[in-house]
Amino acid sequence: MSKIGLVVRNNAEQTAVNLCIEAHKWLNKKFGVDTKLTFSREVNWGRDVCYAGFYRHADREVRINIRNLYGSSIKNVLIVLGHEIRHAVQHKNDWLDKSYSSNKPDGKYESGKWKGKNYWGTYLDAPWEIDARAFQTEYADMAIKELGFGKEIETNLPFGYTTKKHKDKTIADFKKKNKSKTIILLRAYDKRGKANPNGFWWLDLKQTKYKEWNRENINDAYKKYAKFMEKQFVPYQITKEKFGGFSLDDLRF
């Protein structure tokens, strides 16, 4: 039972981790499964943007992604745990074939064999997901009752904050401010020679020996004016935005 990829940040998270570890041990014994529990704080994109947990039968891992549970009660974290334990039970009973897959391009579809019948369709309508949702709260409630958890399960995990980069607005504001100049915007690089995604370089034609901007002159500018452009680095505007508060209906687990 490890905390892979997770450094606990506050008392609520520590309580959630502690209660999950206790509940996981009890649920394993109750249902005769042998799963390991890991925690993470994963930033996911695309089809997994709302991933809150998973069960991987190949190594019997139950993973809880704390990041997508910001703002949720610890009770909800335990419900996610109950959902994943139910998937382990499905595999134990050979209801869900190990060939199950959700690796579809848009993440909305699942494929697998459930109780001897092939299924291909939406994630929400997959029979193993319907079954897991039907038992997730029951499993959580059983562990809460048997382990004597109290009001601590009503504690909400704090919201997180995500940094939003305003690339288009930064460029538009810059061009508006400098519309009287013959400026070229250029990709910025860091000291290691890698593209810097946090802003851009620029040059005014009057700052160079060139008479116009063309591909040849732009390529040449990188060689002759790189140090000068480093001093004219413009960082993209950023804002900190609150992150979390998903309902369980919004999450994949």
166-194 pLDDT, tens per residue? 999 999 999 999 998 999 999 999 888 89
Per-residue confidence (pLDDT) for residue 49, from 0 to 100: 65
- Same domain, yes or no: 34 and 133: yes
- Same domain, yes or no: 64 and 139: yes
Q: For residue 2, what pLDDT band results from cuts at 50, 70 and 90?
A: very low
pLDDT above 60: residue 106: no
Question: Could you give the number of structural domains in the chain?
Answer: 2
**Residue 216 belongs to some domain of the structure:** yes
Q: What percent of the chain has pLDDT over 70?
A: 91
- Same domain, yes or no: 198 and 112: no
- Same domain, yes or no: 144 and 190: no
- Same domain, yes or no: 64 and 144: yes
- Same domain, yes or no: 111 and 210: no
Average pLDDT, the chain: 90
**Residue 34 belongs to some domain of the structure:** yes
Residues 6+ apart with CB under 8 A from 18: none
**Residue 93 belongs to some domain of the structure:** yes
Q: What percent of the chain has pLDDT over 90?
A: 75
pLDDT above 50: residue 96: yes
- Same domain, yes or no: 112 and 206: no
Indicate the pTM of the whole model. Answer: 0.80
- Same domain, yes or no: 181 and 84: no
Domain stops at, among 96, 128, 158: 158
Q: For residue 83, what pLDDT band results from cuts at 50, 70 and 90?
A: very high
What does the pLDDT look like over 25-77, one tens digit per residue?
Answer: 999 999 999 999 999 988 765 555 678 999 999 999 999 999 999 999 999 99
**Residue 1 belongs to some domain of the structure:** no
- Same domain, yes or no: 145 and 225: no
- Same domain, yes or no: 145 and 175: no
**Residue 102 belongs to some domain of the structure:** yes
pLDDT average, residue stretch 66-91? 96
List the domain range (segments joined by +) for residue 148.
Answer: 11-158
**Residue 249 belongs to some domain of the structure:** no
